[in-house]
Amino acid sequence: MIPRSPRSSEPTAAEAGTWADVLVRRRLLHAALRAPTGQWLVQDRPDGPVRVLEGPADVVALAVTIQHHTRTMRPVTR
């Protein structure tokens, strides 16, 4: 696997919103909402606790973590 270069800029609110939408649509998160303060409220499942993420970078980091977990948990079919 080729290592990726680090980002040249911080994630934007629009990028975080797109990732949040994808995670909810794919049912990898139950809910993700942007608060007026710029923080994000996320919930993994309907009866789970609500977590507060500080900003767009945290939403993108969560998406990366979920993607990594999803990809490493797949059975190998080669």
User: What is the rounded CA–CA span in Å between residue 11 and residue 13?
Assistant: 7
The residue-averaged pLDDT of 66-70 equals 89
pTM for the model stands at: 0.81
The residue-averaged pLDDT of 19-44 equals 97
| pLDDT of 30 | 97
H or E segment to which residue 24 belongs: helix 13-25
Give the Cα-Cα-Cα angle 65, 62, 2 (nearest 5 degrees): 45
Give the Cα-Cα-Cα angle 67, 69, 14 (nearest 5 degrees): 25
CA 53 to chain centre: 10
